[in-house]
Copies of this chain bind each other. A is one copy, B any other.
């Protein structure tokens, strides 16, 4: 992906890309009982942004999202879901991208394709925090996890995009069984409940939660137990079906 932005920047007319269409991905992780998202910080600009990209003229839009996702997490086979298109006129603001290019020592012409109006397709992804290896791209200093409660000020409407992604995740959590994509291979019931509570932003009843989760028949209890606390050791569980919930479209 390090070539990707040079391919975009020097290419004033944006040849090879779908014009005016961008991808933004909200990549969720879970750690220390907190929901995290991956953010990029751009060089010399202090700007924070969601991992994003543009669509090649020879790939599906969903493919492009998957490409962006893989290049930022060094993971494949991730749960990825399209959730909304952000197409308001008001989000059109060429200043950030101009600043990014100028910080790289490139002065774009006024009609550079990247400075035109963009409509952005929002995706959210669920990854195993312990497995993802955040990888900055050529134009960003860092690619790091940020807690949802302590987000820095974000570029353009990226804050709204994250909010909408979270809403969608909350809505989907009960229907589809996607929470497991945020867990490590093995986890305790407490871990799982903590995840649900964090996502839904409300306390759940321990006994009822456990009963329901076990009742779903998608958890396997592992022989060995967790150790560490001065109390009865909890069992470890594993998600039965493959964790490879790839987008179905």
Interface residues of A (CB under 8 A from B): 18-21, 55, 57-62, 82, 84-85, 87-90, 117, 119, 121, 171, 175
Contacts and interface: CB of A to CB of B under 8 A. Distances in A.
Nearest to A172: B171
Contacts of A20: 18-21
A195 to B, nearest CB: 22
B59 A89 contact: yes
Nearest to A64: B87
Copies in the complex: 2
A21 B59 CA distance: 16
Contact of A82 (B21, B60, B62, B85): B85
A58 B92 CA distance: 11
Nearest to A58: B89
Contact of A21 (B21, B62, B171): B21
Contact of A119 (B21, B90, B171): B21
Given A20-B20, A171-B175, A84 B82 contact: yes
Contacts of A19: 19-20
13 contacts: A18-B20, A18-B117, A18-B119, A19-B20, A20-B21, A21-B119, A55-B119, A60-B88, A61-B85, A61-B119, A82-B84, A85-B121, A171-B175
Contacts of A58: 89
Given A21-B21, A55-B119, 20 more contacts: A18-B117, A18-B119, A19-B19, A19-B20, A20-B20, A21-B119, A58-B89, A59-B89, A60-B87, A60-B88, A60-B89, A60-B90, A61-B85, A61-B88, A61-B119, A62-B88, A82-B85, A85-B85, A87-B121, A171-B175
Contacts of A57: 117
A173 to B, nearest CB: 13
A88 B59 CA distance: 7
Contacts of A82: 84-85
A18 B20 CA distance: 7
A18 B84 CA distance: 18
**Lowest 9 CB-CB distances: which A-B pairs, in order?**
A61-B87, A60-B88, A19-B19, A60-B89, A85-B121, A18-B20, A85-B85, A19-B20, A60-B87
